[in-house]
Each structure stands twice: as structure tokens, then as C-alpha cells.
């Protein structure tokens, strides 16, 4: 979202990933993950799980990509946000998402829809259900 900074909201929950000074808005990250799960027809637990079936993986890759591109998170921050210990999972997932975008038109359509849904997420992302249900619209 234009003009959004992870430091804008003092009320937002923040996490510092060990060994890094940068923090990120965990509430907003959870909303982005929920949106990816919704648009890829998996429960959010599918993104956090270690299951490697195609549906969960494609949703997970989309979440990684959105966290990287929409929120500007580093790979270690993305890994932390989805409960992974190693940043290479996030790096690989972003690159696999980019590959799927070029080879799978259906994947690209879903990713674009999820991307649009992430635009204009309020700084205080308590409205997760409203955003996902489509009742909330960006200004």
C-alpha cells in the first residue's frame, strides 16, 4: 500500500527476527497469509503446515511472494512469519512462484486477485474477515 510504513503504527504488533534489527508488522503479515490462503482455496493452516501437496505449496509460494513484494519483508522475516526456521525456504518459494506465474495462467490469475486484495489493507488489520469476505474496499 502506498505510503504505508511498518513503523507508522505504534499499536501494531511487531516482531524482531533474531539477529536483525528490522521489525515487521505481524498482524499485516497474517492478513496477507490469510488472503493468499483464501484465493488459493486452502485453509491458512495449509500455508503454515509442512505438508508438501501441490495445493498447499502453491498457496505457500503465493504467500511468500506477496509478503516479499507487498510488504517488502526480507527472506528471514518471511520464514519467521510462516513458522519456518530457514530463510532459504522463503527464497525458493518466491522463485518457484515466479516460475509458476510464467507457466500456469490459472496460478497467475489467482495471484493477481490475491495481490489486488492486499492493496489498501488497513494499518490495523483487525478486519481480516471483512477484507477476505470482500465487504471492505480500499479507499
- Compute the distance between CA of residue 137 and CA of residue 50 in angstroms, rounded to an integer: 33
Say how far apart CA 114 and CA 33 lie, in whole Å: 10
In a domain, 83, yes or no: yes
Q: For residue 16, what is the DSSP state?
A: E
Q: Is residue 96 part of a domain?
A: yes
Please report whether residue 43 resides in a domain.
no
97 belongs to a structural domain: yes
Quick check: is 90 in a domain? yes
**Is-contact 59 45, C-beta < 8 A?**
no
107/7 Cα distance (integer angstroms): 32
Span 31-83, pLDDT tens digits:
999 999 999 999 999 899 888 899 999 999 999 999 999 888 999 999 999 98
Asked if residue 111 is part of any domain, the answer here is yes
Residues contacting residue 91 through CB under 8 Å, at least 6 positions apart:
75
User: What is the count of structural domains for the chain?
Assistant: 1
Instruction: Let me know if residue 121 belongs to a domain.
Output: yes
- Which residue in this structure is represented by grid cell 502506498? 2
Question: pTM for the complete prediction?
Answer: 0.72
92 occurs within a structural domain? yes
Output the pLDDT for position 68: 92
114-120 average pLDDT score:
85
Q: Tell me which residue range forms the domain holding 112.
A: 48-133
Tell me, what DSSP letter sits at residue 67?
H
Amino acid at each position: 500500500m502506498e505510503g504505508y510504513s511498518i513503523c507508522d503504527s505504534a499499536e501494531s504488533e511487531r516482531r524482531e527476527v533474531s539477529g536483525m534489527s528490522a521489525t515487521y508488522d505481524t498482524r499485516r503479515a497474517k492478513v496477507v497469509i490469510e488472503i493468499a490462503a483464501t484465493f488459493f482455496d486452502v485453509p491458512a493452516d495449509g500455508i503454515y503446515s509442512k505438508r508438501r501437496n501441490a495445493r498447499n505449496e502453491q498457496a505457500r509460494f503465493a504467500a511468500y511472494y506477496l509478503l516479499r513484494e507487498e510488504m517488502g519483508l526480507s527472506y528471514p522475516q518471511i520464514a519467521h512469519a510462516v513458522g519456518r526456521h530457514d530463510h532459504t525456504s522463503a527464497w525458493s518459494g518466491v522463485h518457484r512462484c515466479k516460475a509458476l506465474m510464467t507457466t500456469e495462467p490459472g496460478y497467475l490469475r489467482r495471484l493477481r486477485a490475491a495481490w489486488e486484495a492486499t492493496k489498501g489493507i488497513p494499518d490495523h488489520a483487525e478486519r481480516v474477515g471483512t477484507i477476505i469476505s470482500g465487504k471492505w474496499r480500499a479507499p
